[in-house]
Amino acid sequence: MSILIGSETKLVVCGLTGREGSFHGLSNRRYGTDLVAGVTPGKGGGDVDGVPIFDTVHEAVAETGANTSMVFVPARFAADSILEVADAGVELVVCITEGIPAHDMMRVYTHLRRGRTRLVGPNCPGVLSPGQANVGIIPAHFFSQGGVGLVSRSGTLTYQIGNELAGRGFGNSTIVGIGGDPIVGSSFIDVIALFEDDPDTKLIVMCGEIGGDEEERTADYVAEHVSKPVVAYIAGFTAPPGKTMGHAGAIVSGSSGTAQAKAEALEAQGVRVGRTPSEVAEVAAELSGAAA
């Protein structure tokens, strides 16, 4: 079993006719994802390697039954694209686009909370359920099916930790990159709650980073609501205060949001924190053996 995407996923890509959208959309199809449509206003009636193109998401959903969307459009259009997907009744939208203005994302976040469409991203690598479906840019060859649910704010660290876990013999139920922007559609808590309810996820790994307080809030949630073992990694132990490190959301002010503060909050609630990706895999192996 998996969360968010699987064998029942029917994908429509907003921006499939663009260079990046076609490259990754068709890559997802080669992996086995059911890519049923693309959307580019003004190019309806065409196709990309046999995938039909529609002018609107509503048309695409009506014709193909698409239930998942990937947004691969320029930042200035991305917020409206997400809202169009939601208005068409699509259950999940994965937004890869980075650089969307925070004000636009506030509007999107507020609107989506009133409905039933779930957003992953923006500025994220997407979602992968190994052996079933890939929606995004995650290099699937790093991962195999198994019992570890992996959720991360960082795309690159997702791949690195996934590789470390694979080296220890772990496979994954689903890998979710939630994105590193200040405003994203899904939080650690949102995804971990899904992993907790997934019978095939036996252990949860979360990869956080400096900035904000989401990891601290997640620590409290895990202590109250999660029965499965959780292992964490926090990127940025050597980050200088006041510096943005890669992601727009990764900024530290004083002692707030530091890697040390996050690690201490997680450990205080019983979550083991690895200081390196390889240590995360070591701790996962230890906890997996103890739970067996």
pLDDT per position as a tens digit, 73-89:
999 999 999 999 999 99
pLDDT at 239: 59
Could you tell me what percentage of the chain is helix, strand and coil, using 3-state DSSP and rounding each to the nearest 5? 35, 25, 40
Closest listed residue to residue 71, CA positions, set 110, 116, 106, 20: 20
Active site residue 111: no
Tell me what pLDDT residue 257 has.
73
What are the φ and ψ backbone dihedral angles of 172, each rounded to 5 degrees? -125, 145
pLDDT tens by residue, 4-28:
999 999 999 999 999 999 999 999 9
Q: Is 260 helix (H, G, I), strand (E, B) or coil?
A: helix
Looking at residue 203, what is its pLDDT?
97
What is the average per-residue pLDDT within 261-285? 93
Domains of the chain: 10-120 (3.40.50.720), 139-291 (3.40.50.261)
For the residues 38-62, what does the mean pLDDT come to?
Answer: 98
Q: What is the pLDDT of residues 235-253, one digit of tens each?
A: 866 556 655 555 545 444 4
Q: 92-101, 251-260, 281-290 — which is least confidently predicted?
A: 251-260
Higher pLDDT, 2 or 249: 2
Q: Are 192 and 167 in contact (CB under 8 A)?
A: no
Give residue 184's identity as a one-letter amino acid code.
Answer: V
Question: For the residues 84-97, what does the mean pLDDT come to?
Answer: 98
Q: What's the burial of 262, exposed, middle or buried (CB within 10 Å: 0-12/13-18/19+)?
A: buried
Give the pLDDT confidence of 117-157 residue by residue, as tens digits: 999 999 999 999 999 999 999 999 889 999 999 999 988 88
Backbone angles phi, psi at 251, to 5 degrees: -135, 135
In the chain, % of residues over pLDDT 70 = 92
What is the pLDDT averaged over residues 45-50?
A: 98
Q: How sure is the predictor about 158, in pLDDT bands with cuts at 50, 70 and 90?
A: confident
Q: Which backbone phi and psi does 104 adopt, to 5 degrees?
A: -65, -40
What integer pLDDT is reported at residue 250 of this predicted model? 45
The predicted pLDDT at position 213 comes to: 86
- Average pLDDT across the chain, whole number: 92
Average pLDDT of span 96-121: 96
